[in-house]
Structure 1
Amino acid sequence: MLEDTGERVIPENMKITNGLLMEHVARYHFAAEYVTGRVLDFASGSGYGAHIIAKSCKHKIDEVIGVDKDKEAVRYARGIYYHPLTTFREGDVTDPGLPGELGQFDVILSFETIEHITEEGQFLSNIYRMLKPGGILILSTPFGEGRGKPCGQPYHVHQLKVEEFKGLFSAYREADFYYQKGVLIQPAAAAEDKNFPLGIVVCKK
């Protein structure tokens, strides 16, 4: 049985009305509109998100690779979320050798990952290297008090301010920002005065 840390989403252990579950699932259904070709789910956790993409986008993708550093999570994902288009493998999102091992992708997804990572620059560099020219990155994070400041979440290094989050993606040709509250995801321009707790970016390399 995969350990529930309080942060990890394990749909089999949660009620369908669980707000955290609905919030996480909503991001993958949002991303499904963009995915095509070869897809990477970076920090894939228990594997439900990669499975959503494989099932809902099977006619427009070649494969989905889920990468997570937790050996038990990878084992769980392989057992519960098998799909012929999906591969789960162990790996650290900050490993500089990972781009050479995995190659490039048409779409990279990484939801609720960056707030856990000290080596933020290496993480973002890996993503950029693994994304094909013209490829799409979709990444999310909760907002908070800012880089280097305590956020009250034991598994988070920090939680970025909105302006810090928006400043991370200047290397991309396009970057469109969205805000999320529960299952509701809105363009930033429509939500900036409504105190949405989470941000999503859709970047084009």
Structure 2
Amino acid sequence: MLRDTGERVIPERMKILNGLLMEHIARYHFATEYVHGRVLDFATGAGYGAHIIAKMCKKKIDEIVGIDYDQDAIHYAKGQYFHPLSKFVVGDVIDPLLPEKLGTFDCIMSFETIEHIQEEERFMGNVYQLLKPGGTLILSTPFGEGRGKPSGQEFHVHQLTVEEFKALFDKYENKSFFYQKGVVIEPSDSAEEKNYPLGIAICKK
């Protein structure tokens, strides 16, 4: 039985106009413009996002792998979102052996994950190792008071500032940033003055 932790997005149990659901689905639709080849959905949760990519991008991806530490979530994803191009596996995003276990990817998506991770450097190190040279990273997180400061969110270690978020990607050759509010996603140069609560980075290794 897949438990709802309060932050868990399970579309089949939510109303179609639920703001959290719409916001999460918007990110995956946004990502369809960037995914290609072998794709990793890092912390896939219930698997609905990987399924969106498998269905909408079947002509430009080879495979999408969804990984999550929650065995119940992976079991749910396998039953609810089967697709010939998708695979769901149990694993921890900070496992140092993950690159050996999964191989490398042309594109990695990680939405609303890093704010839950205490071992931030290990998480980002795994992402970098798992991404092929020339590969694309798509990562999002909510903004807040900054690293090491209480966020007021029960399941968040902290929430990065805009500056801290952008600094995560110093290793990457090319990067662009977007802000999100609800379902609206805009480039940072046109959204910076609007106090958007979430950031999305698109980076090339």
Regarding TM over 0.5, the answer is yes
For residues 114 and 196 of structure 1, the distance between their equivalents in structure 2, rounded to whole angstroms, comes to 18
The alignment's TM-score, normalised by the length of structure 2, stands at 0.99
Please give the residue correspondences for 1:129-148 in structure 2 after superposition, counting only pairs within 5 Å: 129-148=129-148
| RMSD, matched Cα | 0.5
Give the 4+ runs in structure 1 shifted more than 4 A. none
Please give the per-residue CA displacement for 1:90-129, whole angstroms capped at 9, x wherever unaligned.
0000000000111110000000000000000000000100
What residue in structure 1 maps to residue 161 of structure 2? 161
What residue in structure 2 maps to residue 29 of structure 1? 29
For residues 14 and 62 of structure 1, the distance between their equivalents in structure 2, rounded to whole angstroms, comes to 30
**The residue matched to 2:59 in structure 1 has which SS?**
coil
For residues 11 and 19 of structure 1, the distance between their equivalents in structure 2, rounded to whole angstroms, comes to 11
The alignment's TM-score, normalised by the length of structure 1, stands at 0.99
Same amino acid, percent of matched pairs: 70
Superposition deviation, residue 141 in structure 1: 0.1
For residues 160 and 36 of structure 1, the distance between their equivalents in structure 2, rounded to whole angstroms, comes to 28
Please give the residue correspondences for 1:16-95 in structure 2 after superposition, counting only pairs within 5 Å: 16-95=16-95
Which residues of structure 2 form unaligned runs of 5+?
Answer: none
Count of residue pairs the alignment pairs up: 205
Q: Which amino acid aligns with 2:167?
A: G
For residues 4 and 103 of structure 1, the distance between their equivalents in structure 2, rounded to whole angstroms, comes to 31
For residues 174 and 121 of structure 2, the distance between their equivalents in structure 1, rounded to whole angstroms, comes to 19
**The residue matched to 1:169 in structure 2 has which SS?**
coil
What residue in structure 2 maps to residue 120 of structure 1? 120
For residues 32 and 6 of structure 2, the distance between their equivalents in structure 1, rounded to whole angstroms, comes to 26
For residues 190 and 6 of structure 2, the distance between their equivalents in structure 1, rounded to whole angstroms, comes to 31
For residues 68 and 156 of structure 1, the distance between their equivalents in structure 2, rounded to whole angstroms, comes to 17
